[in-house]
Chain A
Amino acid sequence: MLTQVITFLIFFAVIGCILYGRRLIKTEKIDAVFGNPERALGGTHWIIVGSSFLLLIWLYYSWDIAKGFYPKSANELCQVAKVNDSLLGLKYQFPIEERELKSTSQIRKENNNLRKILEEIKNSEELNNQQKVILAEFINKTNQLIPLLTNDDLLENETKEKINSITGKINLLTENFQKPDYPFETEQQLNERRKAVQEQGGWGIVKVSSGTGSIENTLEVPLVPETDRGLKFDAAAKELNLISDEFFKLRNHNPQFKTQIQNIKSEIKAYRKGLGETQEVASTYAKNIVKIARRIEFASIYPPNALDKMEDAIVKFDDAKVQTQGGLRLIDIFLFPAGTIVASGPSCSEQGSGRWLPKPSDTFNKFILMSKPSVGYKDIPLLWIDMVDVSKIIGFILPDWIADILPGEYPVHTKDGIVKQNFKGQVLKFVTGDFKLFKIPVPYGHIWDSFLRVFLGLVFGILIGVPLGLFMGLNRFAKGFFDPLIELYRPVPPLAWAPLIISVLGIDNTGKVFLLFMVSLSIMIISARAGASGTQLSKIHAAHSLGASKKQILRYVIFPNSLPEILTGIRVAVGMCWGTLVAAEFLAGTTGIGFVENVAKKYFQYEVIWITIFIMGMLGLLFDVTLRKIIDKTIPWRGKG
């Protein structure tokens, strides 16, 4: 329901906004060359056109429009696909979708094979003349098998009757299929089917169950026919399967053929037995000839016109099938672009863009489901708040050895078995966080973990990189000393370090934060250095003659003067860190948004993959916009000084 409404809304929004935009253009002044340059600034209506268009394309190519307007179409198409699947083998025998009869192509193929072998044998240097003559004779005999099969007069009556019976069955099926009440379902069957339909659920994700749900893959396309039309196809598919089995059991083997092939087989067998180990080449050729004879034996080769009636029957059924599909064909063509529903074996699946481009409604529902803290992904929420006692945080920050270095001993139990607490023991309790204060909310979850890693890596990089960079920008010794150290690791792509760092520092936060620290450190050093060495000498002179000391010049002149470069560096570093982090989380880890995507990839959870892509894009955008705001606020003089 929602999808239908949204589809219409988006559609009208696109059209409305385009019309509105056209009208605005008409009323504006037009510059001779490029129109009105201010128009390039755009407007809300153009943004609506762009994003709505994108959404509409998504809805269309992910088949969400089909799902919204014809929720049962996938199920019906699945039944049609079943029929196609059953019909495939029979159709393949005739020039319906192929160029020629299956028998014809098979004969041509085997003739070719025989000719090739004959050629090879004639030109072979490893065979003696006697062998060549015998093998050529085998080939000739095998060649003689084919006319025995294609001769109309030799076709047995029994086989003829069977072909007629199969043709009759197909014709009967076609006749019944066109009747409105086919397949004559009884009340009991109907009830059973209805029950099965209710149990199997809908196409894709239909609703989000309350409470604990699961993100595991749902059935793509429901299998049990839900509609009467679907039921027809389902029943026809079952019948066709039986007919097709019957046909393929049938063999066109008349007595002459049987004796002939038996002869060839035994002759070749005897010949191969007589050959010594040195004549392996001749043996192999003989074996290959027998293989071809066997293929001719099991191929369904019939006289040219023997199956004509059957072909007609199948074409008729095909026509009836297309007719019965009716509007479903249009839905298939227009609402399932670049693909359709196919049946293979016991299941139906989406083939084409709908397969990897999840439906917006499914994605949205899954996103809501994942956002629930009780569901999350792999038992960890995306982003939620946990109440943590402040003492735990204090215990985490303060190192335990603070208690160890205090004078005195830890309490020892007395004779009565009582432990009396002393000062040193109290301090230990404090630094390990073994006490209760008050609880504060602390965020946690996949998104928070990723964010925290980037943030920590960046903060450490800034704290160390900026002073070092400024120092390097001002001091020749520092530049000479640290530059080679940094240039030693910086040119290596950060991800190349990842396997090493992760195996040394562990797959948890430490390794990743250190990796990001490495990324941000080099960027911060370079930008701070550029800022410091780019300070105009006259500014330093001015500050000097105004009575500023060296420290004051560094703090009040060089640092603020380097701020534009430093902040630009931070912006670059955030982007780099974000990219590196996701890849590092791919590599190894137990939490984080990159980890979620990696696991989703393993289970083909396309919705989850798209959700993580979306989250990452949004977080990246959030970082950049925030930094841009900060930059605009803190260094408004940039480019104007």
Chain B
Amino acid sequence: MSDLISQNLNMIFKTPKGDTVHALKDLNFTLKKGELLTVLGPSGCGKTTLLNITAGFIRPSSGNIKLNNKEIDGPGVERGMVFQQGALFEWLTVSENVNFGLRMKNEDPIKTQKKVDEWLEIVGLKGFGNTPTYQLSGGMQQRVALARCLINDPDLILMDEPLGALDALTREKMQSLVLKIWKETGKTIILITHSVEEALLLGERLYVMAPRPGRIHKEYNLPFASMGLKEDLREIKKNKDFSEKREEILEMIWNMEEEIMGKDI
């Protein structure tokens, strides 16, 4: 029922000079409820455009995208978004940030406070409720952004390189957190990333996108996300299958990059 269905999705931008950029071309895919999709690709392949269209921030040039059989025509609470830099409201404390969505709906503050505390505990920020967000580290800020998004109970979570700005160690911890939350809540998640490892580790499904025009180049169905729920993530990385896939995708992306660079020269 609550699938995300994209039909012939096209997005064409016009640059100020008058050139047209085909950011997305004839995108067709279906994402079932509870699936975790990672999207990978060289820069300029339309990953973020896809996410922005799904979030409703921009409208596609043609085609349509439906969630729960309802066409997406604007931002909505049922689609939560986590940004690369957190996009936290620094004038609010951690719990006020998490509470933001519920407050906009004018919900009872006492009830929402309980919910906020629950979510802070899930993302591992118990006791940080009254801290101003600008005093938090990058990883903690992303946890707040995650909780802020999840408290609205969205059907679909969109993550735009959420772990891109974090150091390696924090990143690994956050990857486990994302998997944990995925498992516990059973939400549908689309996660965009630059890191092949991350895409392989987290993605139940993986799209490798190609640029000019932006399109889905190859699709994978991966076992590593389900493994990651039980095993240590570092163990999975040693898996032979994992390294093969990693090399294959890396090669693919390198070729794409070379193609672009070759065009430029």
Footprint of B on A, CB under 8 Å? 536, 538-539, 541-549, 552, 556-557, 560-561, 563, 635-637, 640-641
Contact = CB atoms under 8 A, between A and B. Distances in A.
B81 A542 contact: yes
B104 A545 contact: no
A545 B90 contact: no
A557 B88 CA distance: 10
B77 interface: yes
A544 B87 CA distance: 12
A545 B76 contact: yes
B91 A543 contact: no
A545 B91 contact: no
Nearest to A539: B87
B224 interface: no
Contact of B91 (A538, A548, A561): A561
Contact of B104 (A547, A561, A636): A547
Contact of A541 (B55, B105, B152): B55
B87 A546 contact: no
Contacts of B90: 637, 640-641
A470 to B, nearest CB: 15
A539 B89 contact: yes
Given A541-B57, A560-B89, A640-B134, A547 B83 contact: no
B16 to A, nearest CB: 16
A410 B35 CA distance: 79
Nearest to A542: B87
Given A552-B104, A635-B91, A545 B75 contact: yes
Contact of B80 (A539, A545, A563, A637): A545
Nearest to A635: B91
Contacts of A547: 76-77, 101, 104-105, 152
A45 B89 CA distance: 43
B101 to A, nearest CB: 4
Given A536-B87, A640-B90, A541 B104 contact: no
B148 interface: yes
A637 B91 contact: yes
Interface in B175-220: none
B119 interface: no
What 9 pairs between A and B have smallest CB-CB spacing? A546-B101, A641-B90, A538-B87, A640-B134, A637-B90, A547-B77, A544-B75, A560-B91, A542-B87
Contacts of A637: 90-91, 132-134
A280 B226 CA distance: 125
A544 B77 CA distance: 8
Contacts of A549: 104
B87 to A, nearest CB: 4
A546 B148 contact: yes
Given A539-B89, A546-B80, 6 more contacts: A538-B87, A542-B145, A546-B104, A546-B149, A549-B104, A557-B89
A578 B149 CA distance: 47
B77 A546 contact: yes
A546 B100 contact: yes
A641 B134 contact: yes
A541 B91 contact: no
B47 interface: no
A113 to B, nearest CB: 85
Nearest to B56: A545
Nearest to A563: B91
Contact of A544 (B57, B91, B149): B57
Contacts of B81: 541-542, 545
A541 B132 contact: no
17 contacts: A536-B87, A538-B87, A539-B87, A542-B81, A542-B83, A543-B100, A544-B57, A545-B75, A546-B80, A546-B101, A546-B149, A547-B76, A547-B104, A548-B100, A557-B89, A640-B90, A640-B134
